[in-house]
């Protein structure tokens, strides 16, 4: 079940957190954004939470604030010796990922199923 967050809804699947950002944050208050990001950091800090998958299907555009928050979550997961993956982007977002070379830091997969298989080690 997806969390009630507006910008960064997430759910747990065993040891995996799946985040599905909903797009740019221009219309959202900074306080709300910070609160949602902190909530996901708290989930990742839990000892039984090892991996992160960011499902990018929620929007055809992500601003720098959202991209920065996603990459910080991925970095935190990797620092715990977990795996992080990006997946399910529109063509425009996928192009942005490649141009910014985000896929060099965090692997990208075409589908959520492929990203889940990667973090699970299947």
pLDDT exceeding 70 applies to what percent of the chain? 91
Q: What is the pLDDT of residue 25?
A: 53
pTM for this predicted structure: 0.89
Q: What is the per-residue pLDDT for 66? A: 83
For the chain, what percent of residues have pLDDT higher than 90?
Answer: 61
pLDDT at residue 28 greater than cutoff 60: no
Task: Collapse the DSSP code of 112 into the 3-class scheme (helix H, G, I; strand E, B; otherwise coil) and give the result.
Answer: helix
**What number is the average pLDDT over the span 14-29?**
77
| Cβ count within 10 A of residue 87 | 21
Can you read off the two tokens belonging to residue 73?
A: 């979550």
At 24 the pLDDT is: 62
Nearest to 18 by CA among 38, 35, 1: 1
């Amino acid at each position: 079940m997806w969390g009630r967050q507006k910008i960064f809804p997430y759910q747990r699947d065993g040891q995996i957190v799946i985040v599905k950002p909903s797009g740019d944050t221009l219309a959202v208050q900074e306080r709300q954004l910070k609160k949602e990001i902190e909530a996901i950091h708290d989930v990742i800090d839990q000892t039984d939470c090892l991996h992160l998958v960011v499902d990018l299907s929620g929007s055809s555009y992500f601003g720098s604030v959202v991209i920065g928050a996603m990459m910080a979550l991925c970095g935190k997961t990797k620092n715990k010796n977990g795996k992080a993956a990006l997946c399910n982007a529109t063509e425009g977002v996928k192009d942005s990922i490649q141009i910014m070379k985000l896929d060099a830091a965090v692997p990208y997969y075409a589908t959520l199923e492929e990203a889940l298989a990667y973090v699970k080690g299947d």
